[in-house]
A and B are shown apart, each in its own frame.
Chain A
C-alpha cells in the first residue's frame, strides 16, 4: 500500500527564516515522489519531483530512502511562499496519492 504522511498541518515562520516541510512515505518498491503547491485561488501545480534534483523558487527536496523521507526545504522563506503544500507518491501504477498537506504561512 502507498501512504504519505505530512506530520505538520500548519507551519508558521517569519520572512527570511529557514523552512522545512516534512514528508514521510510508505511503499515497498521504488517510489516516484512529488511536491505540489496550491496558492490561494490557484490550481494545484507541481513544485518539485525527486528525479529532477533541481531547485524551484529556492525550494529543494532530497529523497532519503533509508528514512523514507522527502522533506521540502528553503533556506530563506518569502511571504509569497505562503500556500498549501502537498507531498505525493506514485508507486508502480497510475495512482498518485497525496498527503494531508501542510499550510505554510510566512509572516512579515
Chain B
C-alpha cells in the first residue's frame, strides 16, 4: 500500500458541530502532516507529528486539535469552526531519510456553514 488515505472526501458542518478528519498510511512512515489549502493557494502547514509526537504546531487556533493514535493514523478534530476555515485539508506522510518526499492524500473538502 503506497497511498495516504483520507476520509471523508467531503464534509459540511455547522459552526457548533464537532467533527473529525481521518488520515491513514501503511508505508511505515514516521512523520505525518496536516496542511490546509485554500482555492488557488499553496498548501499551508498546520501540524507535524514525528514518531507519534507533535513536533510542529504552526500557531493553529485551538478549534483544530490533532491526534496521532498510532504510527499509521492521524486525526484532526474540529470544533466551533468559522466559515473562513472552509478549505481542502491535506494529510501527508514521510519516511525519515534525507530528501525523502511527502506523500499526500486526496484531501478532505471542508465547508463550514
What residues make up the interface of A, taking CB atoms closer than 8 Å to B? 32, 34, 43-46, 49-52, 86, 93-101
Annotate B33-47 by CB proximity to A: 1 below 8 A, 0 otherwise.
100000001110100
B42 touches A98 (CB 8 A): yes
How big is the B interface, by class?
Answer: 20 to 34
Known: A43-B107, A95-B56. 15 other contacts (CB 8 A): A32-B98, A34-B101, A43-B104, A43-B106, A45-B104, A51-B99, A52-B99, A86-B42, A94-B50, A94-B55, A94-B94, A96-B45, A96-B102, A98-B42, A100-B42
| Overall SS of chain A's interface | loop
Name the residue of chain B whose CB is nearest to the CB of A6.
Answer: B42
Whole-angstrom CA separation of A86 from B44 in the bound complex: 12
Partner of B48 from the list A32, A49, A52, A94 (CB cut-off 8 Å) is A94
Name the residue of chain A whose CB is nearest to the CB of B103.
Answer: A46
Whole-angstrom CA separation of A101 from B38 in the bound complex: 13
Whole-angstrom CA separation of A104 from B18 in the bound complex: 39
B41 touches A44 (CB 8 A): no
- 29 pairs from A and B in contact (CB 8 Å cutoff): A32-B98, A32-B99, A43-B104, A43-B105, A43-B106, A44-B90, A44-B104, A45-B104, A46-B101, A46-B102, A46-B103, A49-B99, A49-B101, A50-B99, A51-B99, A52-B99, A94-B31, A94-B50, A94-B55, A94-B56, A94-B94, A95-B45, A95-B48, A95-B56, A96-B45, A98-B43, A100-B41, A100-B42, A101-B42
Report A51 CB to chain B, min CB distance, Å: 4
